[in-house]
Amino acid sequence: MKVLVLSLTVALLSVLIISYNFWKLDIQALPLFIKKLFVDSKIEDDNIFIRKENGKLITEESLASFRGYDNDKIYLAILGQVFDVTSGKRHYGTSGSYSYFAGKDGTRSFVDGLFTSDVPGYEISDFTGSQLLEVYKWIQFYNSKYTFIGKVVGRFYDENGGPLNELTSAFEKYKLAVAEKFQLDELNKIFPSCNVAWKENEGTKLWCTSKSGSIEREWTGIPRSFFDQNLQSTRCVCVKNTGKPSFDFIQDQNNGDLNHPNLKIFDKCDPNANECFIF
């Protein structure tokens, strides 16, 4: 069944790419189900967020004994996954800067940096997608540096090592965050941020270079105000003003992406200049 779903997903994505030039659609306007299909096809076999192999199944009480006191070994857990961090004893041992994490699941504190909160360390039900992206990065770090031991039974995994609702719900939220980040990254390549500087006697200077927005490219572009539908805010971007547009719905007038409906010329700025001042 899993293979059939994946095959159908790939087939649908292929049709979208071929028929609608998928990579050049307005990625902000992609319907939610398409975003989810894309993300599912990319990370379905990911073994980071939801661990497949069980290792040892450990209770919270048992985990608490691995703090470097009575037991020589030091374990910590993040999102229910247990890692042996004994080799990092100077960090996680009784006098280490990160001793808080020893013997417990401190997922929440990895993100908010709070070690004295009344909220349990494993409580993530209120986490945003962006926060779950941070959790993912931490799990990647521990996978790369320390030995995976097993899973904590109770909050995220059941007594058989299977994922519980708390974990699967977080995973769905995480996948949407991945899709949104993909959109943002692709959009930033097309509309990189412009350079901004302020001087008291001149006001705010906006200008573009071939490296502005930390996006190296062959074109320089000109400054425009861009309304971001995802963030519901405007920002200064550099817009390609020659050649074919990046989106199929924009009429090709050999002026790049200048006809995108979310763009606006800054007041008192030369519409053709690659720098201007606003006050």
Tell me the pLDDT of the chain (279 aa) as tens digits.
544 444 544 445 444 433 334 334 444 445 445 555 555 655 655 678 999 999 999 999 999 999 988 668 999 999 999 999 999 999 999 889 999 999 999 999 999 988 876 778 899 999 999 999 999 999 999 999 999 999 999 999 999 999 999 999 999 999 888 888 888 888 899 999 999 999 888 789 999 999 999 999 999 999 999 998 777 889 999 999 999 998 888 888 999 999 999 999 999 899 999 999 887
pLDDT at 213: 92
The distance from CA 259 to its chain's CA centroid, rounded to whole angstroms, is: 29
Q: Rounded CA gap, 43 and 47, in Å?
A: 9
Q: Rounded CA gap, 234 and 198, in Å?
A: 18
SS3 assignment, position 236: strand
Q: Rounded CA gap, 133 and 120, in Å?
A: 20
Domain boundaries, the chain: 2-45, 56-169, 191-278
pLDDT at 192: 95
Beta strands of 129-265 (E only): which ranges? 147-152, 195-199, 203-207, 222-228, 233-239, 263-264
**Helix and strand totals (H; E) in the chain:** 7, 10
How big is the chain, counted in residues? 279
pLDDT at 41: 55
Other Cβ atoms closer than 10 A to 67: 20
Closest of 270, 241, 274 to residue 257, by C-alpha: 241
Q: Return the CATH architecture of domain 56-169.
A: Roll (3.10)
SS3 assignment, position 220: coil
Q: Rounded CA gap, 157 and 198, in Å?
A: 53
SS3 assignment, position 75: strand
Contacts of 180 (CB under 8 A, 6+ apart): 35, 129, 230
Q: Rounded CA gap, 221 and 185, in Å?
A: 18
- Contact predicate 130/177, CB 8 Å: yes
Q: Rounded CA gap, 276 and 202, in Å?
A: 10
- Contact predicate 274/222, CB 8 Å: yes
